[in-house]
Amino acid sequence: MSPAPETQTPQQRERATTIFEKGAPGRRAFRAPPLDVPPVDGLVPSALRRAVPPRLPEASEPEIVRHYVNLSKRNFDLDSGFYPLGSCTMKHNPRLHERVAALPGHARLHPLQDPRRAQGALELMFNLQEALAEIAGLPHVSLQPSAGSHGELAGVLLTRAYHADRGEERTKVLTPDSAHGTNPATVTMAGYEVVKVKLDAAGGVDLDDLRAKTDESVACLMLTNPSTLGIFDPNVEEMARIVHGVGATLYYDGANLNAVMGYSRPGDMGFDIVHFNLHKTFTQPHGGGGPGAGPIAVSDRIEPYLPRPQVVRKAAWAPTGERGSSDEAANGRLVGGPPTFDLDDDRPKSIGKLRGFQGNYGVFVRTYAYIRSLGAEGLKDVSEVAVLNANYVLARLKAEVGDMLPLAFGERCMHEFVLSGAPMKKQLGIRTLDLAKRLLDHGMHPPTVYFPLVVEEALLVEPTETETRETLDAFVDAIAAIVQEAAEDPEIARNAPYGTPVRRLDEAGAAKRPRVRQVLTPAAPDGAG
């Protein structure tokens, strides 16, 4: 049922070609500045000099622009439509954030600029640390981790350092079955053994199983709360008691923080370490898979081990130029008064560095702008509306297609919820995947599918707070229409999508014979032709 040749869209007509297949020998966009120094030969010994120049594209600027603009049009994006990708918090990305992040004072600031001449950046980072500490309910923050899973790794390494400092050798980390894949993967990379904890009938952690598996060999329990099922675990206090009882740490995967701001804080729940996904809760654009940032907040006992450097505020600076020269003269060019913020690298118990420099500052600028825009009231509103929207969609779907797509656990949800497509598969013969693909023809991005693994034919729906009721209704109507359509003719969904540039791709074949780069035609050593 693919569209008739003459009625295909231009995108469907045109074969995908890469930038390496475009252009022609000798074409170019870049023009080099003139050589303004006396040229010298053989600055690189020929043994070290590259023989064959890299075969990069040769294209004019108009070709490059058109190529990538057209590629962009083969993407679905959040600015164009509903994107209820569960666990990813696809909320509106304000353009103000792009504007302020692009200010040259932020965007062209070198990471090794003398702190006395980067006071604006350090002030911003310091203020952000304070704000995140208040939001997490934990006093100390490191902004360094580059994403959530990087934050997780930091958290487990902090746990290791904490125990090591107390002469303890622990070998296991507990993760519930509903945990995101990065949790167990992180545990392995950090050199611990993963111990899975079962879920109870309500979708929460099975306390008995937790008790049974918790002993002195356990270093940490990693928990997401609300969980990836969209359920807030009511037993969190008891879990904390159990885990802390054996001297282990409690790690909070902050990917779902969007559900509870203003209501409950990880610190209040008894967690020792938290990571934030700034690209989720704090609306850093997702960029097709990053960049993000995964700052961590920790309790006092973990603080000594935080990565270095930390941004600190100090009373005053000792001028480097003794001999009573003026602050200005002593500290070099200063802007906006004497410096008060600094980078503290002198942290003897620190786990060290997780990456270069001070973290993804450009992401911090956006997050800071977001927190300043919303304020306390706005952040609470975020969670309230996120939960309201999720429950509204859930309630409507129950009424419309509850029999085919039942809620996996419980009655209500927090900011997201998981449906099971098992009945639909059995009775209508279409899988969750088919439903997802058909949604594409309705101009919407499908929810997360087949995660969490504990639910058969899972559909994880997270509407977020920035969507309107009309959009939520349109989503429910689309799902209902697809289920209805499938009842009449399941083939339509099974072969969907139709209007997209390409349709159902052969993923198995791609993995069997991986073609992960374009094979380029060999070139003459002189690089010509």
Ligand X SMILES: Cc1ncc(COP(=O)(O)O)c(C=O)c1O
Residues that bind ligand X (CB under 6 A): 87, 147-149, 180, 182, 224, 228, 253, 255, 277, 292, 294
How many residues bind its own copies (CB under 8 A)? The answer is 43
Q: Which is nearer to its own copies, 63 or 123 (CB)?
A: 63
Closest CA to 407 of 399, 429, 398, 447: 398
Rounded to a whole number of angstroms, the minimum distance from the CB of residue 170 to its own copies is: 46
Smallest distance from the beta carbon of 272 to other proteins, in angstroms? 14
d(C-alpha 219, C-alpha 204), whole Å: 21
Q: How many CB atoms lie within 10 A of CB 141?
A: 27
Closer to its own copies by Cβ: residue 52 or 107: 107
Judged by beta carbon, residue 2 or residue 521, the one nearer its own copies is: 2
Sign, CA torsion 377/378/379/383: positive
Q: Which stretch binds other proteins (CB under 8 A): 216-224, 353-361, 424-432, 484-492?
A: 353-361
Please list every residue from 456 through 515 that binds its own copies, using CB under 8 A: 466-470, 492, 498-499
By CB under 8 A, tell whether 510 contacts other proteins: yes
Which of 19, 20, 22, 334 forms a contact with its own copies (CB under 8 A)?
A: 22
Check residue 524 for interaction with other proteins (CB under 8 A): no
**In the complex with other proteins, which residue's Cβ is closer, 118 or 419?**
118
Q: Which is nearer to other proteins, 134 or 487 (CB)?
A: 134
Which H helix or E strand runs over 66? Answer: helix 61-72
Cα four-point dihedral sign 492, 494, 495, 499: positive
The answer to whether 43 contacts other proteins (rule: CB under 8 A) is: yes
Cα-based torsion angle of the residue sequence 85, 86, 87, 89 in order, rounded to the nearest 10 degrees: 50
Alpha carbon distance 370, 378 (integer Å): 10
The candidate with the shortest Cα–Cα distance to 192, out of 172, 176, 177, 174, is 172
Question: Shortest approach of other proteins to residue 335 CB, angstroms?
Answer: 5
User: What length is written for the chain?
Assistant: 529
Contact 202, 172 (CB under 8 A): no
Residue for token digits 């209902």?
Answer: 480
* Binder among 7, 166, 323, 346 for other proteins (CB under 8 A): 323
Q: Which is nearer to other proteins, 139 or 487 (CB)?
A: 139
Q: Does 20 bind other proteins (CB under 8 A)?
A: yes
Are 220 and 249 in contact by the 8 Å Cβ rule? The answer is yes
Query: Of the listed pieces 211-219, 358-366, 400-408, 478-486, which binds other proteins according to CB under 8 A?
Result: 358-366
Q: Which does 253 bind (CB under 5 to 8 A by kind): ligand X, other proteins, its own copies, none?
A: ligand X
Nearer to other proteins, 237 or 403 (CB): 237
100 binds its own copies, rule: CB under 8 A: no
CA distance 488 to 85: 28
If you write DSSP's letter for every residue of 344-372 in order, what string do you get? E---TT----SSSTT--HHHHHHHHHHHH
How many angstroms separate the Cα of 376 from the Cα of each of 142, 174, 367, 382, 383? Answer: 21, 34, 14, 10, 11
Secondary structure of residue 342 in the 3-state scheme = strand
Read off the DSSP letter of residue 273.
E
Token pair listed for 86: 């569960």
Q: Can residue 60 be called a binding residue for its own copies (CB under 8 A)?
A: yes
Min separation Cβ 478 and other proteins, Å: 15
Fill in the per-residue mask, 396 to 415: x = in contact with other proteins (CB under 8 A), - = not in contact. x---------------x-x-
Stretch that binds other proteins, among 216-224, 242-250, 420-428, 433-441 (CB under 8 A): 433-441
- Told to check if 516 binds other proteins by CB under 8 A, we report yes
Site of interaction with its own copies (CB under 8 A): 1-4, 6-14, 22, 24, 27, 60-63, 65-66, 69-70, 73, 79-81, 92, 94-95, 440-443, 466-470, 492, 498-499
